Chain A
Amino acid sequence: SAVISQKPSRDICQRGTSLTIQCQVDSQVTMMFWYRQQPGQSLTLIATANQGSEATYESGFVIDKFPISRPNLTFSTLTVSNMSPEDSSIYLCSVSGTGNEQFFGPGTRLTVL
């Protein structure tokens, strides 16, 4: 199984600002995924990040709002831009392991005031 860390673990931000979330994996992986979990809801996929190419965004999510970087096979960042209170969520990154088993990071709890 992969060990995944995320920074920060939580943050409280002001409306209109941006926050960059980091995701670090202890092994090289091809695909990394970013999810959002709004309060009381299940997880929704934001985008898939492949090293060396542009991230692929799901319906309802756009690059200007959620820019993603994937500089190497063990690291990715997700930026939440021009935040509003509706962006308050837990943001999680995940990777695929053997048999496409998914492993998740501990999440970043974001509160926007």
Chain B
Amino acid sequence: KQEVTQIPAALSVPEGENLVLNCSFTDSAIYNLQWFRQDPGKGLTSLLLIQSSQREQTSGRLNASLDKSSGRSTLYIAASQPGDSATYLCAVMDSSYKLIFGSGTRLLVRP
């Protein structure tokens, strides 16, 4: 059974810092991996999608990497801003096209 773990559970950093969020999964037979952002009480916003054949994806200040063989992904946020404060969720899609989510990392960027 696929399990997705995110570390740390919570993170507080001063504005301007570069930071890394970690995601690990137990079964490397994934279709893709997706990073989402969720603001309190809201839906999910897709940030980056990495197909199983890819190693990384970039969008603006965000960079996500995927090492399928070791079951790991990282989300790198450069020059963090207070507006980046949210919960970041990692999810893997298994071979039956179902998403399995991690428990998330709550990020607070202090002005």
Contacts and interface: CB of A to CB of B under 8 A. Distances in A.
A102 B104 contact: no
A101 B34 CA distance: 7
Interface string B25-44: 00000011010100001111
A53 interface: no
Nearest to B51: A99
B97 A42 contact: no
Contacts of A90: 41
Given A99-B32, A102-B34, A104-B43, A45 B97 contact: no
Interface residues of B, number: 22
B86 to A, nearest CB: 14
Nearest to B36: A104
Interface of A: 1, 31, 33, 41-45, 48, 58, 90, 92, 94, 96, 99-107, 109
14 contacts: A1-B46, A33-B99, A41-B103, A42-B101, A43-B89, A92-B43, A92-B44, A99-B49, A100-B93, A101-B32, A101-B49, A104-B44, A107-B41, A107-B42
